[in-house]
Structure formats: C-alpha cells, structure tokens
Structure 1
Amino acid sequence: MSAQAQSSLFRIPYDMLCADVQSALESQGVNKTIAQVEAQIMAEADLHGVPSHGVRMLPPMLRALAEGRAKANANILITREFGAICVLDGDNGPGRYVAAIAMQAAVDRSKQFGVGVCLAKNTTHWGRAHAYALRAAQANCIGLCTTNAMQTMTAWGATTKIIGNNPLAIGIPRAAGENPMVLDMAMSQAAVGKVATWLREGKQIPEGWGVDAQGKPTNDAKAILSGAVSPMAGHKGAGLALMLEFMTAALGGGLFCRDLAIPSGGLETDTSKLFIALNIEAFSENGIAAFHAQVEDYLNYLRAEASTSEPFLYPGERGWQDCADNLRDGVPLHAEIVAQLLAAGVTLTC
C-alpha cells in the first residue's frame, strides 16, 4: 500500500463496526437476527484484510433493500429435500445470511448422511465465499461452496465480459486451537473488487489481470473496470467458471450469468449457490483426531521444505495474521470507503 493510502486509513473496533452495519441494515427493515449475521460476515472480510468484499458493499446493499431488489423480509425456505440434499429458495433476502443458513443446512445433513448438499437459488451477493467454507470447517467438516455471478470476465477470445468469475471456496478443519484452512478464489486472475481496491490504494496492476473495453490487455485499473477481468490460467479458469455455472444455475433451474440484471449499484440478485459439507467422521476409521494429525504432519513438512525467502503459508493464513492484528488495532477502512458509508447514511463509531 502506498504511503498516501496508508495515511488515509481509519480504524474501527470489529465489534463496533459490526454494530454499525447491523444498525444500518435494521434501518431498512431487516430483522435483528438476520442483520446481525449479515453484519458479522460483511465486516469479517475487512477483519481478514479483504476490503474488496467487506463493508464497502453495504451502500449497494442498502440501496437494493430500499428499491426492493433485495428483500428485508424475504420468505426464505427449503423447497425440496431428497436424503442428504436440499434446495433453499433465498427469495433475494440478505445474501450473507441466506448463504450462512444454506451451509448450515449442508452441515446438518452431513451429520446424518456423511455428506450434506444445499443448493440455494434466488440469492443476492454473499460477500466473500471464505465465510461459508470456514463455518463448515469450524463444524469439523470439509466445506465447499460456489456461486454463479454477473458477467465480469472475458474468455475464449471474446472482446467483452461473457461469464462470471464464479468463486470457489474450500475449507479444511484443523486441530483445536489452530485456525482452519480456507482456499477462496475467483476464476479470474483477480476479482473485480480487488482491482478496485488496488486502484483506491494506488497500487500498480500486474500484467494479465484484465482487458479494456476494446478487449485489449491492459494494466490500467480504470480501463479494466470499464472492460473485463481475465480468467486465471487462461482456458483453465474459464473452463472452471463454466462448470461452476452449470453446477449452480443449471442445477437449480436458475438464471445464467448472461441473464442476471446488472444494477448500477452492482448488487446482483437471483444468483444460485451450491454448498457441500463432508463429515470427516463418516470417512475416517480413526476419527477426526487422526485427520487433524495428518493435516498438521503435511503442513509441517511443507513449512520445512519451503524456501526461507518465501515461507510457506497455507490458504487463508495471511488472513488470520491480519485478523489478529485488526482485532488488536481495529479494522482498517480506507477514507474513500468511510466517505461512501457516510454518504449512504451509515453512522460509524470512529
């Protein structure tokens, strides 16, 4: 981060930030329980050092609630069950809350069947996929979740965005006292929100992150935001995004990314999400402790083998380091994000 960006940071205690976000959501008619979950997950992204998916997304959410595109009092219910599988209709309610209860539904079924699967349709933006794979891992399950998303990515030689970057997260539980591992990745080289964050913080965009409005490769952040992000690893990222589109939208009879409305505020609705939980106890003859021991053994091996100049960090480890720092020092918010929150009528406890 540039020195200028660093000097433009405000820090707010995590609990206070959660309370401020919750209050703003309740002001739009969201009930206390839903608003509390939504706020905690939203602020959790900033806590873990990922402002692209944090409280900067609150103003679009408030606008969507005010306009009725997102529903404060959505009729969220399970519409279909088949053994370990269920389908949940989110009725375009607050997306983080809907995603959290969908993953919990998968976890609950995994305790009975060994595996649990919940497909959630008619959902709004869930923020960061990390949050839901983490919750499965905290329940001693391997968690996997993905969603389709509005078109932000170019692929297959197209000169414009033709598919979503359809993020995928996988969570792995660890022994008591150790933080779970969570891999959270978009199928693009970088998420659109990350491009916007780097622009805000004055960072140089690497080559290969995106194209301009004419489909030409560029490292100009503003041009990428007007154009499209590029798939990670070329055809591999594009192929994964396509498969995840089918595993979410097609599986649930929902809308493909091409058919999702793209509001000016950027908060998509009517997306489809898939949540899977694997109950480790159902697979392991030696129980969860043996699984934990194997995981730690291999992590220790990787730490020993990694270069001293580039230490091994497991997926999500840097975020846990940021989490510890930000719990101590306060959650950092860029001045531009603070201004956007205040302009949206959000009261911040600074």
Structure 2
Amino acid sequence: MQTRVPFEKLKEAFVAALLKAGLSKDRAELCGRLFAENQRDGVYSHGLNRFPGLLAKLSEGRLDGTAEPECVNALGVLEQWDGKMGIGLVNAHLAMGRAIELAKANGMGCIGLRNTNHWMRAGAYGLQAADAGCIGMCWTNTTPLMPPWGATEKRIGNNPMTMAIPRKEGHILLDMAMSQYSNGKLEVLQARGETLPIAGGFDTEGNLTCDPGAILDSKRALPIGYWKGSALAIVLDTLAALLSAGQTTHDIGAQGDEHAVSQTYIAIDVTSLNGRELCERIVNGIIDDLHEVHESARYPGEGMLRTRRESLEKGVVVEEDQWEELLRI
C-alpha cells in the first residue's frame, strides 16, 4: 500500500535516523536531503528502498561515517581523490563540488574518486552541477552484475552514468544504468508484484523475461542496446579506474561484496563560456522542436520534473511499510 508524506516531513525523518546512527549534523542533513529528494523525484529504488542498507553498513562498520576524502594527485584541471571508504553520498557531493570549483576557475574540472561507496542516485550529482550553471557528467563502476554480450557468466558492472544540462525551466537529466533496468528498479517492481513493460534480462533457463524476480535470481540483466551497452559498460569501468587509479569491476567482484568503487565527475562551465541567454536559446530550441513531434515526446528528465511538482503539491509517494519502518528507527 502507498501513501503520501509531505517532503519536509520525509526529509526530517531521514535526518533524524541518520543522527541516531551517529552522523554529524551536516552529514545527516546532506544525506537525509539526498534520500528525500530521490524519493520526491520518483527514484523510489534509491530512496526509502535503499536506506536500511546504508544504516546497516554504518552499524556494521563497513562504512566510515567520519571519513574525510583526500586529494592525492593533481594535474591541471584533473584531480584524484581517495574516498577513504566513507559514505558514498558524502564523497560524491564533495567530488562534484570540487569539479564545479575547478570548472569555475578553468572552464572545466574532472575528479577521479577511488575507495568510495554506493552514491545512491547518480542524477543527484549531475543536478548539483546543473544548479551551478555547469554541464555535469559522472559515472561509477560496480561489482559484476551482467554477462558481457555473448557470454552467460556475469563479469561487467551496470555502471550507472548521468549527464545533466542546465536550463532555467528545468534541467535536462540523463540518468541511467548500462542494464535495461537497474537492480534497484527490479527490486522495487518485484516487491510490488509488477512485471516489466519490456524484457529486462534472462531467466535461469536463458529465456528473455519481463519478470524482475527471475532476472534477480539469474543475475543476467540485459545490457541496454545489447552489445553496445555491454561495450559502454566496459569502457566506463576502464575510464573510472584509470582516472581515479582505483579498482576495476573485476577487482570489486573479487572482494565478495561491493565497496571501494571507482567514480568520475566532470563539470563544464558552459554558462560562462556561452552566456546564459545563448545556452537557454539552444537548449529550449531543441526541446521545443522535440515537443512538436508528439505530445508524448519528452526530453530526459521531463518526467522527473513532473513527478517532483506533484510530490511537492500532494506529498511524496511512499510505501507504507517502508515509511513506518523509517519512523520506528
């Protein structure tokens, strides 16, 4: 069963739970806001759905809630940072913030971040850059979650990536994993008893299926674009490891569970380069042309903005059992 909760009330509940878990006030407020914004924007797979897992890792000592990321190497607009096994959301926010600082000073900035953890929603950090007037790009590698195209054994990550483009009336946001559906999305749909609108992977007998549970059981998610998505996942893994001097997907897989991942953050100060007026004219021209095609045609991120407006007006959609669990914490 679902219900709606005011956004501020949801955020306060996240923050309270994180304070109870021992985070500092600043970190609890940052992580609580990010979790609440994920839920507000309809990214249910990385809101309430993933929150208990974060608390469990903090409690078990698998995440260091006090770790301070450190810059360990720099070359021009490129820097390498060590996340010190800290909270992925904190490290990601810092890394994109630093990329933005470099972009404001030099036109662009790139951060390679190693020894960090799950950042939850990639799009949050693209939006962070767009809010600052920058194009934002970031991606992460993961533990092996898919077979490379032509194989049956999982060896490549689904390596989520995001690209965000600033726009006054609502940023363009591409936020996607290299699998047809992220693991988090499959988990949400399985919990709801829903099927996929199109095949998202293989069952244990090697048949394409729309059953999210069957895909989670087989661990054979389908790459986006078949062989193209497989290739892109491999390239993103390679770039993240090279730019951060960190671990690759096969290194992460050898650990047994996912931690110490490698990530890349890029910010480009396109607003200072072109001026806001020209940027708005170019982006709005593309969107206006798209909307002329058909009423259902939409740009990346448009559906998210619609969900956000509805969440702020009517309340954020939550699963009642997950909401009650958060309140009990």
TM band (smaller chain): over 0.9
2:136 maps to 1:143: yes
Percent identity among equivalent residues? 34
Residue 229 of structure 1 aligns with which residue? 221
- What's the CA shift for 1:281? 4.1
Rounded Cα–Cα distance in structure 2 between residues aligned with 1:315 and 1:293: 18
- What's the CA shift for 1:215? 4.1
Query: Which of these residues, 290, 299, 305, is aligned with residue 287 of structure 2?
Result: 299
Residue 254 of structure 1 aligns with which residue? 246
Q: Would you say how many aligned residue pairs link Structure 1 and Structure 2?
A: 328
Query: Which of these residues, 302, 306, 310, is aligned with residue 317 of structure 1?
Result: 302
Rounded Cα–Cα distance in structure 2 between residues aligned with 1:84 and 1:263: 32
- What's the CA shift for 1:161? 2.2
- Higher mean alpha-carbon deviation, 153-162 vs 253-262, is at 253-262
Match of 2:323, as an amino acid? V
Query: Which of these residues, 43, 50, 60, is aligned with residue 50 of structure 1?
Result: 43
- What's the CA shift for 1:133? 0.5
Q: Secondary structure at the match of 1:16?
A: helix
2:288 maps to 1:328: no
- TM-score, normalisation: structure 2: 0.94
Rounded Cα–Cα distance in structure 2 between residues aligned with 1:63 and 1:302: 44
Q: Deviations over 1:56-101 (max 9, x none)?
A: 1111101101111111111322222222111221112121121011
Q: Name the CA shift for 1:263/1:332 in 2 (closer, same or farther; >3 Å).
A: farther
Query: Which of these residues, 190, 209, 213, is aligned with residue 200 of structure 2?
Result: 209
Report 1:77-156 matches (<5 A). 77-156=70-149
Q: Name the CA shift for 1:62/1:239 in 2 (closer, same or farther; >3 Å).
A: same
- What's the CA shift for 1:206? 3.7
Q: Secondary structure at the match of 2:111?
A: strand
Rounded Cα–Cα distance in structure 1 between residues aligned with 2:141 and 2:270: 27
Q: Name the CA shift for 1:209/1:336 in 2 (closer, same or farther; >3 Å).
A: farther
Aligned residues of 1:122 and 1:254 also touching (Cα < 8 A): yes
Report 1:174-189 matches (<5 A). 174-175=167-168, 178-189=169-180
Residue 196 of structure 1 aligns with which residue? 187
Rounded Cα–Cα distance in structure 1 between residues aligned with 2:181 and 2:25: 34
Q: Name the CA shift for 1:205/1:159 in 2 (closer, same or farther; >3 Å).
A: same
- What's the CA shift for 1:294? 1.5
Q: Name the CA shift for 1:61/1:262 in 2 (closer, same or farther; >3 Å).
A: farther
Q: Which runs of 4+ in 1 moved over 4 A?
A: 261-264
Q: Secondary structure at the match of 2:23?
A: coil
Rounded Cα–Cα distance in structure 2 between residues aligned with 1:132 and 1:341: 25
2:54 maps to 1:61: yes
Rounded Cα–Cα distance in structure 1 between residues aligned with 2:265 and 2:138: 4
Q: CA RMSD in A?
A: 1.9
Q: Secondary structure at the match of 1:70?
A: coil
Q: Which runs of 5+ in 2 are unaligned?
A: none
Q: Name the CA shift for 1:281/1:43 in 2 (closer, same or farther; >3 Å).
A: closer
Rounded Cα–Cα distance in structure 2 between residues aligned with 1:101 and 1:55: 23
Q: Secondary structure at the match of 1:233?
A: coil
- TM-score, normalisation: structure 1: 0.88
2:226 maps to 1:239: no
Match of 2:99, as an amino acid? A
Residue 290 of structure 1 aligns with which residue? 278
Match of 1:165, as an amino acid? N
Report 1:12-27 matches (<5 A). 12-27=5-20
Rounded Cα–Cα distance in structure 2 between residues aligned with 1:251 and 1:326: 38
2:264 maps to 1:271: no
Q: Name the CA shift for 1:262/1:283 in 2 (closer, same or farther; >3 Å).
A: same
Rounded Cα–Cα distance in structure 2 between residues aligned with 1:316 and 1:141: 16
Match of 2:192, as an amino acid? E
Q: Secondary structure at the match of 1:93?
A: coil
- What's the CA shift for 1:148? 0.5
2:160 maps to 1:172: no
Rounded Cα–Cα distance in structure 2 between residues aligned with 1:13 and 1:172: 28
